[in-house]
Structure 1
């Protein structure tokens, strides 16, 4: 099975000149920059506390991601309050941003088809719902995609196709909190976004469960603020239909 690395293990395992070493150095420099603070203060906190975990996949496909993601989710609560898993694909020729968007959604759809667990209660199967979130191995997960095609939205740029998986519980007490400290932190995220990117923050950024919010719109942000449309009605539709048929046979 592909190994999950801490930041020190990445440095020990890959030469600086390897594609893994180059991508990680770029990622770490972006998150730790003092002259150009990265917008996600929670991700920065997780990186500094060594609560993030990293994987390097070639190829980066549903079949290679699924076992790594399952392993990560089984141990994520032991990694820390601000944990996320960052998966880097091997760099290749830069494609059009819409090609990366299609690849991203095909990846999540493929993962949903491979998932053996039922969706958690309270989470809709349909993307066009304020109760939808990507789920795998019984865990709701917020997913972020970075690509080499992002130019104006630098907060979503990476030298390679890069996916970040954040368990939904990481946001508990943050996006749904009235605590002044949390509210100040969220305000700081928005302020940093405005300084970091060459266009205004996406107007459809919101919180899970809020009326009218659509989580899928926030997963893959383009280089414009045009509101994304649903690429799928539901993910893993074939797998979902098979489960329903099996339950019907059992009943």
Structure 2
């Protein structure tokens, strides 16, 4: 099974054989020509694996509609069934207290993955273009929050401040830094930790429950050690959710 998660900044592609993730790649989503080129490279370079594994279906989660037809086009070329996940075609009965027309397919996939893991109470923090918080209580998706992501916040700061340069966001022990670069790193690292911990605390207080904290997305590992309560990191949560949905469709 092929699973593809198109985000605003990056796209993650995976190939599953049963429950095992055999292949995982990341390409950019911001340039349509580069996206089409890199998508073709992924399929061409994995042609033997796709054929050997007898892959028959491709599950797509996308928040960039203009890229969806490119995925559909290449799956048809390889004679693979194309399934574009949205709130109206879920093959599961899912209790959702949210505007179904507005909820992202990636958040649906994450929720399916978590419920499948038997975590009836959880908060999913996804560090993507936006940092999203999804709340599941008693196996019901009760809502969430959307906060500006680290990369777009960083890019916005650099774009607006003539003397600041783009740097890599990393773990940093210092809170009070002694250089401009370290000050930016400390501000983003400890600032986002404070935001995430603060929001988690307020969600728990409002919903009156004891959730598992699940971190996912490209930067999850950077923040893991400082998040409370102690979290579980699953970088492939969305892909896993798509796999579970694909298995149900293909049954």
Query: Do both proteins adopt the same fold according to a TM-score greater than 0.5, normalized to the shorter chain?
Result: no
| Superposition TM-score tier, normalisation by shorter sequence | under 0.3
Q: Which has the higher strand share?
A: 2
TM-score, normalised to structure 2's length? 0.24
